[in-house]
Amino acid sequence: MDFRIGTGFDAHKFVPNRPLILGGVNIPHEKGLLGHSDADALSHAISDAILGAAALGDMGQYFPDTDLKWKDADSHDLLSECVHMIKAKGWVIGNVDATLICQKPKLAPFVKSMIRKLSETLEVDESCVSVKAKTTEGMGYEGREEGLSAQAIVLLKKI
């Protein structure tokens, strides 16, 4: 098989006194995301999609929240490690399509920066990375501004 597809999902709760980092980009907001690492839900969803496509499990197997080594880790370092893992198995990223779901802050002004940063980490051209930002029209935990979620799908190609 020359291609494989994986999906990823992540969600984090908003809390005060934390930076909001999505796709490796610091987003100005009065709250950030609670997590063991920097809680970059977008990078986490993409990491899980990559690992899933390669049948390598999920982030929790490699970067458990019980290990102090990963406390406040930069999620782009973890994403980069996932890219190295799949390359070692003979795969490269074909493309990534991701969606951020959050009522506030408005993320559209930051999407191009996220794509730029993600494409560097994923070692692909920017044209291979899509990031979309959606709201839930006030419904659910995202709509109540309690947190946000991210979904991703990744296509891997055999080297």
Q: 81-120, pLDDT tens digit by residue?
A: 999 999 999 999 999 999 999 999 999 999 999 999 999 9
CATH, residue 78: 3.30.1330.50
Measured distance CA(139)–CA(88) in Å, rounded: 42
pLDDT band at residue 138 using 50, 70 and 90 as cut-offs: very high
**How far apart (Å, rounded) are the C-alpha atoms in residues 55 and 76?**
21
Please give the tally of structural domains in the chain: 1
3-state SS, one letter per residue, for 85-116: HHHHCCEEEEEEEEEEECCCCCCHHHHHHHHH
DSSP of 118-137:
HHHHHTS-GGGEEEEEE--T
For residue range 30-41, what is the model confidence (pLDDT) as tens digits?
999 999 999 999
pLDDT value for 38: 96
* CB 126 within 8 Å of CB 137: no
Q: Taking a C-beta distance cutoff of 8 angstroms, is the pair 148, 14 a contact?
A: yes
Range(s) of the domain holding residue 50: 3-158
pLDDT of residue 10: 98
pLDDT value for 116: 98
Predicted model pTM: 0.97
